[in-house]
Amino acid sequence: MAPRAAYYLSTPIYYVNDSPHIGHAYTSLACDVLARFMRLDGRDVMFLTGTDEHGQKVQKSAIAAGMEPQEFVDQVSERFRALGGVMGYSNDDFIRTTEDRHTRSCQELWRRIAANGHIYLDKYAGWYSVRDEAFCTEAEVTDGPGGGKVTVADSSPVEWVEEPSYFFRLSDWQGPLLEFYEKNPQAVAPESRRNEVISFVSGGLNDLSISRASLKWGIPVPDAPDHTMYVWLDALTNYISAAGFPDTECDTWRTYWPADLHMVGKDILRFHTVYWPAFLMAAGVEPPTRVFAHGWWTNEGEKMSKSLGNVIDPHQIVARYGLDAVRYFLLRALPFGSDGDFAHRAIVGRMNDDLANDYGNLAQRVLTMAYRNCGAAVPEPGAFTAADEAMLGAAEALVDTVRADIGEQSFHRALIHIWEVVGQANRYVDEQAPWVLRKEDPARMATVLYVVMETLRHLAVLTQAFMPDSSGRMLDQLGVAAEARDLAALGPDGRLAAGTPLPKPAPVFPRFVEDSADS
């Protein structure tokens, strides 16, 4: 058997100055759906997530909490690890930037960049945003309240910093980066973000300060222990640390690098699509294949913030609506890459209309009829009519459509295409009226039920990546064996075997009923 094609994807590593919120959950969910789908498609997947634990912001948060930095990051990192259990993530690795494997990787990357002549020692004098852990030009800051300075982008306070610093010759990489984007049109997505990055790089690049002499909570610069590595050079390196770097002969590295996809929020696009490929090329390492930057969520139309008290806690929404409903809503509600609003009425609408009414009711009424009228077994179909063939054809064509959508990280479009077949199946049932056929033509009834059950099999297999538990229960009720639930089992060759025993059907997608607190 030929080896499976590898697929390496990652979330950003999350900064541990606070607890996880819906933004963190959203990025990781998109990666989880993609990882699950790729596994169903026979790919050898490595799905990485983790926590970014160094930097001035973390150091200040630890001091504010009355804790040592390591104690603080140990505690907060565990909250992000626990989020994976709450949201049902299937990551293969969880990396922390305080791990020894990461320190070795960072320091070796630095040595290779330096050996190639791309690092020099000078003095940094300029603005620095602690919240963003980013250096800012004069054009990127403006006057803030109280006479201070803030960033133009997000009003983050900045402070003036003057200290010795090592610099990366980023200015040398304008041409190579533009050439990279030209040769690899899929390297930055969606298209609007690609245009943004190309415009930024085309405007010229300044050399980048990549060490701090005033910060000690971080990874020491090799052969210069008075300097600590810039937190973004440290953080970005996690992707190659987990792949085995600097051991470029190990199986993990040879199998998975370059990464197929880094999934990030739009606020950290520049770090991943400008600095990161430049660092790697300067070290003689191939850049990742693709970076996709998604949008932000608001809450009932308002920007989320601690001061407003409207930050959405993933634990709370899963407890309220159920895991699979939350997973479905987050990836169906808006085009992936755009901003969106999390509203109670919107998720309830998706739960009751899409899941309970359209999909759940379709399955419940067909499976109940089969259970009651076909001896609690998969019915024996007769000859298929043109309407039957059209329904089966639509279901069987779905896998190629969804595969293409997922490959482009167009999760909402994949779900739209799946629900088009759900709608077609409901119309087919209404037109064929098996409840009438039960008395007039039982053999035809059996064929109609079989066609819909076969359609449900395709729908359930393809929605496993989005709603693993619900889709698994749907496949259980269809009598589909555990080993026959991947994409290779779809199509005519994997059709349901007549006579397969069926369990008593039970609703998979309950309606959301408002309580007094919701109304």
Is there a single domain that holds both residue 19 and residue 154?
yes
308 belongs to a structural domain: no
Distance CA 360, CA 242 (A): 41
Flag whether pLDDT at 516 surpasses 50: no
Contact of 323 with 330, CB cutoff 8 Å: no
Is residue 517 very low, low, confident or very high in pLDDT (cuts 50, 70, 90)? very low
CA angle (402 as vertex; 356, 428 as ends), nearest 5: 50
Distance CA 107, CA 166 (A): 14
410 belongs to a structural domain: yes
Is there a single domain that holds both residue 285 and residue 370?
no
What CATH number does residue 172 fall under? 3.40.50.620
Average pLDDT over residues 220-230: 95
Flag whether pLDDT at 345 surpasses 90: yes
Domains: count for the chain: 2
Is there a single domain that holds both residue 178 and residue 43?
yes
User: Alpha-carbon torsion 331, 411, 40, 24, what sign?
Assistant: negative
Is there a single domain that holds both residue 351 and residue 264?
no
Flag whether pLDDT at 401 surpasses 50: yes
Of the three residues 295, 311, 332, the one that is the final residue of a domain is 295
Flag whether pLDDT at 131 surpasses 80: no
Flag whether pLDDT at 308 surpasses 70: no
Closest CA relative to residue 270, chosen from 197, 187, 190: 197
Average pLDDT over the chain, rounded to whole? 94
Average pLDDT over residues 481-506: 97
User: What is the phi/psi pair of residue 406, to 5°?
Assistant: -65, -40
SS (H, E, C) 447-461: HHHHHHHHHHHHHHH
Is residue 153 very low, low, confident or very high in pLDDT (cuts 50, 70, 90)? confident
Flag whether pLDDT at 137 surpasses 90: no
83 belongs to a structural domain: yes
324 belongs to a structural domain: no
Is there a single domain that holds both residue 291 and residue 420?
no
Burial (0-12, 13-18, 19+ Cβ within 10 Å), 342: buried
Average pLDDT over residues 437-450: 97
Is there a single domain that holds both residue 145 and residue 286?
yes
Is there a single domain that holds both residue 52 and residue 124?
yes
The per-residue pLDDT for 162 is 86
3-class DSSP assignment, residue 198 = helix
Of the three residues 260, 295, 330, the one that is the final residue of a domain is 295
500 belongs to a structural domain: no
Flag whether pLDDT at 19 surpasses 90: no
Distance CA 2, CA 396 (A): 25
Average pLDDT over residues 450-479: 98
> How big is the chain, counted in residues?
519
> Crossing angle of helices 69-87/323-332, nearest 10°?
90
The per-residue pLDDT for 297 is 82
Distance CA 298, CA 317 (A): 14
Is there a single domain that holds both residue 238 and residue 348?
no
Of the three residues 271, 295, 319, the one that is the final residue of a domain is 295
Q: Determine the structural domain holding residue 187 and report its residue range.
A: 6-295
The per-residue pLDDT for 509 is 97
Is there a single domain that holds both residue 149 and residue 76?
yes
Distance CA 16, CA 79 (A): 9
Distance CA 35, CA 400 (A): 17
Chain Cα centroid distance, residue 356: 25
The per-residue pLDDT for 307 is 56
What CATH number does residue 480 fall under? 1.10.730.10
337 belongs to a structural domain: no
Per cent of the chain over pLDDT 70 is 97
316 belongs to a structural domain: no
E-assigned strand segments in 193-350: 208-209, 211-212, 220-221, 224-229, 261-265, 291-294, 297-299, 302-303, 340-342
Distance CA 69, CA 217 (A): 8
Contact of 319 with 419, CB cutoff 8 Å: no
Distance CA 330, CA 294 (A): 12
As a whole number of Å, the CA-based R_g of the chain is 26
pLDDT digits (tens, 9 = 90+) for 245-286: 999 999 999 999 999 999 999 999 999 999 999 999 999 999
Average pLDDT over residues 496-513: 96
The per-residue pLDDT for 514 is 83
Is there a single domain that holds both residue 270 and residue 347?
no
Q: Which residues pair with 15 in a beta bridge?
A: 52
Contact of 314 with 86, CB cutoff 8 Å: yes
Token pair recorded at residue 323? 């895991």
Is there a single domain that holds both residue 286 and residue 371?
no
Contact of 53 with 16, CB cutoff 8 Å: yes
512 belongs to a structural domain: no
Flag whether pLDDT at 321 surpasses 90: yes
pLDDT digits (tens, 9 = 90+) for 180-211: 999 999 999 999 999 999 999 999 999 999 99
Edge-first strand order for the sheet with 224-229 is 211-212, 224-229, 220-221
The per-residue pLDDT for 326 is 97
Is there a single domain that holds both residue 246 and residue 381?
no
3-class DSSP assignment, residue 423 = helix
- Close Cβ partners of 372 (under 8 Å, ≥ 6 residues apart): none
Task: Give the CA-trace dihedral at 53, 54, 55, 57, to 10 degrees.
Answer: 30
